[in-house]
Amino acid sequence: MKMKKTALSLLVCSLAFTPAAFAQDKKEDMQPKPGKAIASYEQLNEWLKSKGVSDTVVTSHIPTVEEINAALKDMKASRDNKKLSKDLGNDFKIEVEVFNTPTEVKVPTYIPYKDVAGKKLESATATGVIRIMYKDKIMYTLAANSAEFLYDGERVIDFRDAPRSTDPRTLSSTNDREEQYLYYYSPFDKDTVAEARFPWLTKEKEHITGHIELRFNGTGNYYINDVYFK
């Protein structure tokens, strides 16, 4: 009787490791999460291969737009908290960063101010960046830049063109900009708004788009006011 029980136990263990059991696990891995995936299974893995990454990401591990937006709600990057990172699980993560670059410059001839003799002129540029990443590889970058001229630390707003919506630190991973514009919510403060689409890791009818608002008042206060993907 004891031998029969042992044989039965061995039979149960062998069934657990049959190809059918593996096929079931694989089928579950290929089930997408509810919502809109940030990348397609085929295109994401082809892209990772082109970047020298040997991993194969299964469908059930790919984050959704809804998960990205939920994570971004708690990531308040600002002058006092410049860089934040959040683990999404399965080696996916989000980075949020803001930085400011003041540079002393010559007075541009097109600035309509004459009384600048003896004053120091700085060009202050604030940047807000969102990065969606797999390990150390940047999948998507959404960025907005805002530039102002300062005379002796005083604000002088001057824009000839809307700033570019690319991250100067990751030029190899830029976006297809759809629109960028300035929105003044007071006479002194403004948002630089950038909207972009990301076509290379999704199928044509499933393209991801992003929206970012960088608020900057030119006196050292800058932060990401709003950001989301859809």
Other beta carbons within 10 angstroms of residue 147's beta carbon come to 20
Give me the residue spans of the domains in the chain: 33-229
Q: Select the more confidently predicted residue: 120 or 109.
A: 120
% of the chain with per-residue pLDDT over 70: 66
Q: How confident is the model at residue 41 (pLDDT cuts 50, 70, 90)?
A: very high
What pLDDT, on a 0 to 100 scale, did the predictor assign at position 221? 78
* For range 86-106, the mean pLDDT: 88
What pLDDT, on a 0 to 100 scale, did the predictor assign at position 173? 40
What pLDDT, on a 0 to 100 scale, did the predictor assign at position 166? 44
* For range 121-140, the mean pLDDT: 87
Note the pTM of the prediction, 2 decimals.
0.74
* For range 41-61, the mean pLDDT: 93
**Residue 183: how many CA atoms within 13 Å on its side-chain side?**
14
What pLDDT, on a 0 to 100 scale, did the predictor assign at position 148? 75
Supply the DSSP string of the chain, one letter for each residue. Answer: -HHHHHHHHHHHHHHHTSHHHHHHHHHHHTSPPSS-BSS-HHHHHHHHHHTT------GGGS-BHHHHHHHHTT---BTTB-EEEEEEETTEEEEEEEEEEEEE-PPPTT------TT--EEEEEEEEEEEEEETTEEEEEEEEEEEEEEETTEEE---SSPPP-S-TT-TTS--EEEEEEEEESSSS-EEEEEEEEE-TTS-GGG-EEEEEEEEE-SSS-EEEEEEEE-
Range from 10-19, 48-57, 143-152, 201-210 carrying the lowest mean pLDDT = 10-19
Question: Which amino acid is located at 134 in the chain?
Answer: Y
* For range 110-137, the mean pLDDT: 77
Q: How confident is the model at residue 199 (pLDDT cuts 50, 70, 90)?
A: confident
Average pLDDT, the chain: 75
